[in-house]
Amino acid sequence: MDEFDDSDLPEPSLKNIIDQESLQWVFVGGKGGVGKTTTSCCLGVQLAKYRKKVLIVSTDPAHNLSDAFCQKVGREPTPIMGFDNLDAMEIDANDDMEKMQQKMADSTGAASEEESGISSLMNELTASIPGIDEAMSFSELMKQVQSLDYDVVVFDTAPTGHTLRLLSFPTILERALGKVLELKDRFGGLIGQATAMFGGGSPGQMQEMLLGRLEETRVVINKVNDAFQDPELTTFVCVCIPEFLSIYETERLVQELSKFGIDSHNIVVNQVLFPEKDAEELGEWLEQNKAGLPKEAQEICSKMMARKKMQDKYIGQCFDLYGDDFNVTLMPLLDWEVRGVDKLKEFSVNLIDPVDLEG
């Protein structure tokens, strides 16, 4: 890496997240396979040292929390062994949506024919507006998580595209419900009649109940949206590896987060070869000692040096792009897998205790 003065740059660690006690929602995201789950778990482990109750939630359909902690993590908050204040849970938006609809039907269907009609039409609406099913599921998740009374929730999200859709849900749903509510003055009678077709009751009653249900949903979504866009409550940690595609994806993610008004000022770069060493210094050492090494060792060292030079180039680009405004944390490539509580605890220290780039 080129020499640079890092004295005025933001600290290269996630200590700022630990220190910001007002934070309630921390999203961790990035391209597939860059170490989001490991970063989420390590951040949760560190937060558990300073907060009373911490929850890690996986919204990735391909759940990995169970693998990371080496214990079964379910759909309800599961206590993590070795902690008395750290829980984890894995959710599935589509499956949760079906359960939510069933719950709505159970709680309202038996009450009256009018309510049954409302539930039927709500189901039709959720099937017809793209993304609304996951959006409503997510709003239910947020309500559930809020009721559980955790100090901070870390979201281990799905790969970038899915995550961006997740974060845009409040906006999508707000627009969709806004449109429906706009139509009530123009097609009020028609909405009432359409609702009545799905169940008993007069069109007037049905219209009022449907609009009441939609307004109730919109209030929840607005609350979620406001929380997401408040940097005191929510932040997003971008995770990448020092390769072109991953850095490119991170740039896209940062721009999209900015568009949604979501705070993001932390980037974690995983799988870094010898983050404290410079490729040129290693190259000089290799040149001096290459002759004394067996041929196979020379090939291994040459391959490692090629990878190190490539990584340094992209790490340099990362600091050029984000170094002035973002906390860029370099996490070392290890000789062992980060699985189980002990290994996560050990590795998580690197998130808080920054690598000395001058070392």
- Hey, which residues are catalytic here? 60
* Helices of type H across the chain: 15-19, 36-47, 65-69, 93-108, 113-128, 132-147, 160-197, 203-228, 244-260, 279-289, 295-322, 341-352
- Token output for 339: 């699985």
For helices 160-197 and 132-147, the axis angle rounded to 10 degrees is: 100
Strand partners, 90: 58
Tell me how far apart the alpha carbons of residues 103 and 97 are, in angstroms, rounded to a whole number.
10
β-strands 152-156, 54-58: how paired? parallel
Tell me how far apart the alpha carbons of residues 87 and 89 are, in angstroms, rounded to a whole number.
7
Q: Phi-psi region for residue 61, left (φ > 0), alpha (ψ -120 to 50) or beta?
A: alpha
β-strands 234-240, 152-156: how paired? unpaired
Please report the DSSP string for 72-96 in residue order: ---SS-EEPTT-SSEEEEE--HHHH
